[in-house]
Amino acid sequence: MAILLKKKSRVRFLNRVLQGLFITLTLAMAGCGTPSGPIDLADSSYRSPNIAKSHDPWGSLAVRFVRDSRPGWELGFHNYLNDSYYSDELFEFPVPAVLKRLILEESQRAGTFEPRAEDEKSNYLAEIDLKHFYVRTQRNLLDLIPILPTTTVEAVIDFEVRLVDHDGRLFMKKRYNSKDKARRDQLADVGGSGTDRLLEILSVFMGELVVDMDMSVIRFWSELGMSVPKPSLLPKP
């Protein structure tokens, strides 16, 4: 009986040691899953769509966020033994400000619209409903059992855009959403790879959005049997 009790004690002791090692190893590798500092878009995996100019700007464009629907935990929640979310902390400015800047810059670069501040009068207004925008790393103790531990990394972008003119006429309403999930080696830069993927998705969406807004203006006036009015002929906003 005494021998049996000693064996059980040794088993319990070894279990505690292994659990402690797992937790220590997880915390030691936590930094590998954390994105490093605010992103400089000019020196990142974000790539401008570089859409060739094909016409003069249709007029001026302002961008307004009508809703930020993101759940609170998506804005930044760190749990190194489970799920961690990274969003606004990835950038120097909040995500809505980053998206607004990109929409205006890419529209101007493509020659489709001239940018205006939200509080200025403009010919067109892009209204944004931001639903999701984050990198999530998913890890748990079981991930440490294999020889080469892995973590699930998820990059998600989801927002809706309405393009209206100064009279409130609807030119376009479209939702842009993508969820990309992959397994990554925990010893690699997990957070960095998730951020890179998020910016790659954002690059694609900016290209699609600029073209969609451009074509929506052409389509709207074409359906009225007209060519797009020059900005000088549009009613003053």
The reply to whether CATH 2.30.30.100 applies to domain 2-233 is: no
Confidence of residue 233 (pLDDT cuts 50, 70, 90): low
56-106 pLDDT tens trace: 999 999 999 999 999 888 877 665 556 778 788 888 888 999 999 999 999
The answer to whether 226 and 110 have CB atoms below 8 angstroms apart is no
Confidence of residue 196 (pLDDT cuts 50, 70, 90): confident
Query: Highest mean pLDDT: which of 38-52, 107-121, 128-142?
Result: 107-121
**More confident: 83 or 147:** 83
List helix spans (H) across the chain. Answer: 2-28, 95-110, 190-223
Which residue's entry shows tokens 């309405």?
162
Which residue's entry shows tokens 């509080």?
119
Query: How far is it, in rounded angstroms, from Cα 118 to Cα 124?
Result: 11
* pLDDT for residue 137 is more than 50: yes
Confidence of residue 197 (pLDDT cuts 50, 70, 90): confident
Query: How far is it, in rounded angstroms, from Cα 220 to Cα 169?
Result: 10
